[in-house]
Amino acid sequence: MSSNYPYVSSAGPVVKTIERFRKQFPSEVTADTLRKLGIAPKNESYVINILKFLNLIDADGKKTEAAKTFLQHDDAKFAAEFETIVRAAYAPLFDLAGDEHAWLQERGELVSFFRTSDGSSDLVGKRQALTFSTLAALSGHGEIATPRTVSSTPKKTPAVAKPKAVVAEERNAAVFAQPSSSSSNVGLTVRIEVNLPANGDQKTYDAIFQSIRKNLIDSE
């Protein structure tokens, strides 16, 4: 079912469009216009529907008389005039909830209104509520919702202690290198792998290494 009330998935495209159009409102707004301006990427059709719903552009994308509001440079005066535009577009909501309460309704109340009015799905209803809240914030009512930032710093992986059996295997694979004592210019390296008994005690290991030093390293 098509929705009467427009929506967008996040506040960013709406906010960027309004801010950009306050500097210069194009005489015609199309998807190509938004792409050239570099705003609302992949959300062009959604933003255009919102602008049409607010009667800022007509069915052909032409700027309307209501767009003159964007000529207002003062932020407070712009918000006051934009408030009138938003209230007129969402007249049924204000008729039901009242002029003051409608601006700051809880998100759940807004979702219920939009879902009941349009037969929207839960997801669309939430996006319709977000869109209205964003427009309300631009009208001076409430704060614009900002997405939560995710830290780019990778989480440190805690060090995991190695099992004793693994330590024993690494110890048993100890390798020793003994350079040749030959006086020639040709070098020779001898690699000796020693497998240490996993169940040996300190005296056993000391005896093995002392024997290696005596017979291999210190020998002439």
Residues 134 and 179 in one domain: no
Range picked from 74-83, 93-102, 150-159, 181-190 for highest mean pLDDT = 74-83
Q: Does some domain include residue 47?
A: yes
Residues 76 and 116 in one domain: yes
Q: How many domains does the chain have?
A: 2
Q: Supply the pLDDT for residue 91.
A: 95
Q: Does some domain include residue 42?
A: yes
Residues 94 and 33 in one domain: yes
pLDDT beyond 90 at 163: no
Residues 85 and 178 in one domain: no
CA dist 89 and 158 (Å) reads 55
Residues 16 and 105 in one domain: yes
Q: What range does the domain containing 67 cover?
A: 11-138
Q: Does some domain include residue 149?
A: no
Domain boundary among 101, 120, 138: 138
pLDDT digits (tens, 9 = 90+) for 16-28: 999 999 999 999 9
- 220 or 20, which is more confident: 20
Task: Specify whether the backbone of 44 is left (phi greater than 0), alpha (psi in -120 to 50) or beta.
Answer: alpha
Q: Supply the pLDDT for residue 29.
A: 97
With contact defined as beta carbons under 8 Å apart, do 117 and 5 qualify?
yes
Residues 35 and 123 in one domain: yes
Q: Does some domain include residue 156?
A: no
Q: Does some domain include residue 180?
A: yes
CA 22-46-90 angle, 5° bins: 75
- 12 or 193, which is more confident: 12
Domain boundary among 90, 121, 138: 138
Is this prediction's pTM over 0.75?
no
Q: Supply the pLDDT for residue 81.
A: 96
Residues 119 and 171 in one domain: no
pLDDT digits (tens, 9 = 90+) for 56-100: 999 999 999 999 999 999 999 999 999 999 999 999 999 999 988
Q: What residues does 63 pair with on adjacent strands?
A: 57
With contact defined as beta carbons under 8 Å apart, do 62 and 72 qualify?
no
Q: Supply the pLDDT for residue 142.
A: 84
Q: What are phi and psi of 72, to 5 degrees?
A: -75, 115
Average pLDDT for the chain: 82
With contact defined as beta carbons under 8 Å apart, do 48 and 32 qualify?
no
